[in-house]
Amino acid sequence: MVLNILSKSLALVTICVLSVSFTFSQEPTVSYFSEEALLRHVETLSSDAFEGRLTGTNGAIKAKKYIINQFYSLKVQPFKKSYEQPFKFIKGRKEYKGTNVLGYIKGTLEPNKFIILSAHYDHLGINNGIIYNGADDNASGIGALFGFAEYFQKYPPKHSVILAAFDAEELGMQGSYYFVKNLPFSIKMIKANLNMDMISRSNKNELYVAGSNINTFFRKAVCCIESKKIDLITGHDGYDDKDNWVYASDHSNFHKKGIPFLYFGVEDHEDYHEATDDFENIHPEFYTEAVNVIISVFNKIDAP
């Protein structure tokens, strides 16, 4: 998640906080995916072996290969001929080479309309010999993409889905910028972007969703999600007195093009952009439920 400081709107909106059992039946909440696998992915990607996943480094290349292998094993097809979408950009005086990893699942009812599920896989790398592993930021979002892929094996989406693991978010959201700029189809074919960046820990059991106060047709999708374990709260999108997250992560590049978005994330914590953002500090029960909640929001948006 990129640090964002913007002016705040004085307008207030009602915060949507629901606390009833979230499920499609009367049974207790169940996961749509293997919780063990979800946690294992985050633990792996945020281990020292990936050296903080800074764009262009060996650690980032290793993370890219890991994501491709997982997509393949989960029967996610490459978006084009390859999972990889390479790009270049200049930051300061340095040229970087990044790679987005893009998976594709064909929709069963609306194959020519797309929902983009996104998360960035890069982080801050190594600074003064210390590895910044980025467990919450944003191995957690990438783990959620794998959770979605596992879910789609049993419940194929009605719209086509692109699972986008973006690179170079920490360097100015370069990967998502390149993706949106080089779409091989009309922007009008994208129904929504659901972006996940920092979703694995909250001392208050609060997961925020930004964007429904801008894209008001999404309000029913987020205000009717129910969970006994966490609160899904709208806000941080310029319509309350909280920090504005509209331009805080990769969803901003979709928003700038007029593409509807929802951004899921937690508020900054003591380990944000610190070397202590390690797997041991995430909240497993909160995280697994957060992914379940996001899948439930997706299902409502994906409905015909």
Q: Which residue has the tokens 């001392």?
A: 203
Return d(Cα 146, Cα 157) in angstroms, integer.
Answer: 15
Return d(Cα 90, Cα 168) in angstroms, integer.
Answer: 11
Question: Residue 120: pLDDT above 70?
Answer: yes
Contact predicate 259/231, CB 8 Å: no
Question: Residue 28: pLDDT above 50?
Answer: no
Question: Residue 283: pLDDT above 50?
Answer: yes
Q: Give me the pLDDT at residue 225, please.
A: 83
Rounded mean pLDDT of the chain? 91
pLDDT digits (tens, 9 = 90+) for 166-199: 999 999 999 999 999 999 999 999 999 999 999 9
Residue 153: CB atoms within 10 Å: 12
Phi first, then psi: give them for residue 245, nearest 5 degrees. Answer: -100, 10
CATH class of 35-302: alpha beta
Question: Residue 19: pLDDT above 50?
Answer: no
Nearest to 141 by CA among 161, 162, 120: 120
Residue ranges covered by each domain of the chain: 35-302
Q: Which residue has the tokens 């439920």?
A: 289
Question: Residue 222: pLDDT above 70?
Answer: yes
pLDDT digits (tens, 9 = 90+) for 50-86: 999 999 999 999 999 999 999 999 999 999 999 999 9
Q: Give me the pLDDT at residue 142, please.
A: 99
Return d(Cα 18, Cα 222) in angstroms, integer.
Answer: 10
Q: Give me the pLDDT at residue 31, please.
A: 82
Q: Give me the pLDDT at residue 224, please.
A: 80
pLDDT digits (tens, 9 = 90+) for 225-282: 889 999 999 999 999 989 999 999 999 999 999 999 999 999 999 999 999 999 999 9
Bridge-partner residues for 98, per DSSP?
A: 87
Range list of β-strands (E), 145-291: 159-166, 190-196, 206-210, 231-234, 261-265
Residue 216 DSSP code: G
Region of residue 149 (left: phi > 0; alpha: psi -120 to 50; beta: else): alpha
Residue 30 DSSP code: -
Q: Is this structure's pTM higher than 0.75?
A: yes
Q: Give me the pLDDT at residue 86, please.
A: 98
Residue type, 259: I
Burial 204-220 (b: 16+ CB within 10 A, else e): ebbbbbbbbbebeebee
Contact predicate 212/234, CB 8 Å: yes
Contact predicate 279/195, CB 8 Å: no
Return d(Cα 300, Cα 285) in angstroms, integer.
Answer: 23
Q: Which residue has the tokens 């390859």?
A: 82
Bridge-partner residues for 85, per DSSP?
A: 100
Return d(Cα 74, Cα 66) in angstroms, integer.
Answer: 12
Bridge-partner residues for 18, per DSSP?
A: none
Contact predicate 293/227, CB 8 Å: yes
Residues 6+ apart with CB under 8 A from 142: 41, 42, 45, 67, 119, 120, 121, 165
Bridge-partner residues for 207, per DSSP?
A: 232
- Could you give the 3-state DSSP secondary structure of residue 84? strand
186-191 own/partner pairs: CB under 8 Å, 24+ apart? 187/257, 187/258, 187/259, 189/112, 189/113, 189/114, 190/113, 190/114, 190/115, 190/116, 190/254, 190/259, 191/113, 191/114, 191/115, 191/159, 191/260, 191/301
